[in-house]
């Protein structure tokens, strides 16, 4: 009898993360495919109430003060003990900035591989197969999960979150957790981002620039266009790392999740960490010199050309239309 499918239920600052519901939706498909039950594993401190919304057959709830914050060592050790004891068929781990370190350490604890960057997982002939997004989104590797508990690191957006939200309260089982007595890594505090001059999540138009914009001066091209359209400029990670735009302008995993009416991506390759922050935009227009750039997989309209030529031309066209 194979074990159940587990979803590690991520919560942060008192709320269940969206990705938890997405993984529960996927987990349900896998559990049905394997003919087993779906369990959510919720670890925390005084967090039992969060179990109510999880669409799992059973929520395994483990409580310890050491689990209050996402300190990876405590969480991975507690999880490893549970996995060893109960032998689930698969453990789905959110690949987010909150749980990412746990996804790194849990496999080490169990001396097993992590199948990472899964953008899909399915059951084929009774076995789990994962599709992993590699090379900044340019390749898919289909991987067979090996014997034993398959540890799967799953990217955001794998399924719609709606199906992972419970209509009725799930069954909750309290489980004993073992965390190390010594906390080698201690959580201190959270530091809020400095408020930027604009809130990019509130804009109808975003002109986003990536490494392809080449230098700081060229960011001005995007700024002019944004101004003409009453929107704002934002960027991908390398542009922020270079200091060409402030941190408050970053879109993606470590930055803002945006959903404007129009998102023009100039010189952005479309790495999964960027895409998770902008894929829900109503209209995405991508400008990139590389016809294979993964951004074209999420864009509605694509332009294979130099953004340094296209952006000024668009600015002229906008000016002409405004008359």
Partner 1 sequence: MKILAVLKMVPDVVEELEIGEDGKSLDLEFLRLIVNERDEHALEEALLLKEQHGGTVTAVALDAPDIDDVLFTALAKGADRAVKITDAGESLSTRAAAALLAKALPAVPDLMPVDLVLLGCSATDDLDGQSAAVLAHALGLPYVGVVSQVQADAGRLRVMKEFPGGVLGEFETTVLAVIGVQAAEKPPRYVPVAKVRAAMKSGGIDEVAADGPADVAPLEVLQMTKPEASGQAEMLEGSPEELAAKVGELLTERGML
Ligand X SMILES: Cc1cc2nc3c(=O)[nH]c(=O)nc-3n(C[C@H](O)[C@H](O)[C@H](O)COP(=O)(O)OP(=O)(O)OC[C@H]3O[C@@H](n4cnc5c(N)ncnc54)[C@H](O)[C@@H]3O)c2cc1C
Residues within the interface to ligand X (CB under 6 A): 136, 210-212, 236-238, 250-255, 267-269, 271, 273-274, 277, 287-290, 293, 306-308
Instruction: Give the residue carrying structure tokens 């009774």.
Output: 126
In which residue are the tokens 């199948």 written? 115
Q: Return d(Cα 210, Cα 313) in angstroms, integer.
A: 18
HSE (side-chain half, CA atoms, 13 Å) at 187: 15
Q: Which of ligand X, partner 1, none is residue 241 near (CB under 5 to 8 Å by kind)?
A: partner 1
Give the length of the chain: 323
* Two structure tokens written together for 192: 């809020």
CB-based burial, 280-310: b 16+ in 10 Å, e otherwise: ebeebbbbbeeeebbbbebbeebbeeebbeb
| 214 belongs to the binding site for partner 1 (CB under 8 A) | no
290 binds partner 1 (CB under 8 A): yes
Binding-site partner at residue 236 among ligand X, partner 1, none, CB < 5 to 8 Å by type: ligand X
Least distance to partner 1 from the beta carbon of 118, Å?
10
162 vs 316 by CB, closer to ligand X: 316
Q: Which one of residues 7, 89, 155, 314 is an interface residue with partner 1 (CB under 8 A)?
A: 314
Q: Does 255 bind partner 1 (CB under 8 A)?
A: yes
Q: Does 177 bind partner 1 (CB under 8 A)?
A: no
Distance CA 139, CA 271 (A): 11
| Contact of 7 with 27, CB cutoff 8 Å | yes
257 binds partner 1 (CB under 8 A): yes
User: Binder to partner 1 among 1, 49, 190, 202 (CB under 8 A)?
Assistant: 190
CA distances 113 to 100, 108, 154, 173, 240, Å, are 15, 8, 14, 28, 33
- SS3 at position 22: helix
Q: How far is the CB of 57 from partner 1 (least distance, A)?
A: 28
Q: Kindly tell me which of 58 and 117 has the beta carbon lying closer to partner 1.
A: 117
Q: Is 147 exposed, middle or buried (0-12, 13-18, 19+ CB in 10 A)?
A: exposed
Size of the site for partner 1 (CB under 8 A): 98
Site for partner 1 in 100-129 (CB under 8 A): 100-101, 103-105, 107-109, 113-117, 129
Scanning 20-28, 82-90, 165-173, 311-319 for contacts with partner 1 by CB under 8 A, the matching segment is 311-319
With respect to partner 1, which residue has the nearer C-beta, 53 or 96? 96
CA max distance for the chain: 71
Selection from 59, 57, 55, 70 nearest residue 10 by Cα: 70
Residue closer to partner 1 (CB basis): 134 or 169? 134
DSSP code string of 53-64:
GB-SSEEEEEE-
CA within 13 Å, CB half, 217: 1
Please state the closest distance from residue 197 (CB atom) to partner 1, in A.
14
Establish if 21 lies at the interface with partner 1 (CB under 8 A).
no
Binding test (CB under 8 A) with partner 1, winner from 22, 39, 69, 224 = 69
236 in contact with partner 1 (CB under 8 A): no
Q: Does 142 bind partner 1 (CB under 8 A)?
A: yes
Judged by CB under 8 A, does residue 299 bind partner 1? yes
3-state secondary structure of 6: strand
Q: Residue 116: which of partner 1, ligand X, none does it interact with, CB under 5 to 8 A by kind? A: partner 1
């Amino acid at each position: 009898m194979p074990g159940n499918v587990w979803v590690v239920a991520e919560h942060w600052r008192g709320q269940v993360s969206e990705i938890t519901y997405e993984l529960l939706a996927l987990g349900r498909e896998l559990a049905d495919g394997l003919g087993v039950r779906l369990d959510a594993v919720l670890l925390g401190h005084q967090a039992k109430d969060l179990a109510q919304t999880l669409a799992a057959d059973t929520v395994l709830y483990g409580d310890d003060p050491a689990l209050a914050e996402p300190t990876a060592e405590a969480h991975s050790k507690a999880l490893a003990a549970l996995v060893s004891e109960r032998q689930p068929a698969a453990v789905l781990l959110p690949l987010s900035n909150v749980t990412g370190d746990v996804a790194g350490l849990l496999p080490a604890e169990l001396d097993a591989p992590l199948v990472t960057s899964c953008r899909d997982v399915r059951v084929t002939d009774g076995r789990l197969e994962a599709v992993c997004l590699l090379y900044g989104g340019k390749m898919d590797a289909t991987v067979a999960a090996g014997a034993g508990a398959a540890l799967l690191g799953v990217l955001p957006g794998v399924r719609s979150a709606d199906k992972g939200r419970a209509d009725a309260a799930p069954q909750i089982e309290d489980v004993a957790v073992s965390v190390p007595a010594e906390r080698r890594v201690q959580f201190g505090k959270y530091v809020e981002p400095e408020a930027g001059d604009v809130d990019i999540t509130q804009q109808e138009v975003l002109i986003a620039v990536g490494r392809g914009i080449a230098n700081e001066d060229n960011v001005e091209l995007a700024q002019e266009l944004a101004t003409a359209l009453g929107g704002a400029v934002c960027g991908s990670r390398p542009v922020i790392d270079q200091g060409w735009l402030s941190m408050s302008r970053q879109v993606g995993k470590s930055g803002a999740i945006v959903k404007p009416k129009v998102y023009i991506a100039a010189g952005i390759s479309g790495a999964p960490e960027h895409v998770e922050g902008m894929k829900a935009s109503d209209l995405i227009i991508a400008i990139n010199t590389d016809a294979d750039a993964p951004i074209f997989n999420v864009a509605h309209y694509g332009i294979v050309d130099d953004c340094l030529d296209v952006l000024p031309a668009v600015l002229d066209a906008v000016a002409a239309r405004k008359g």
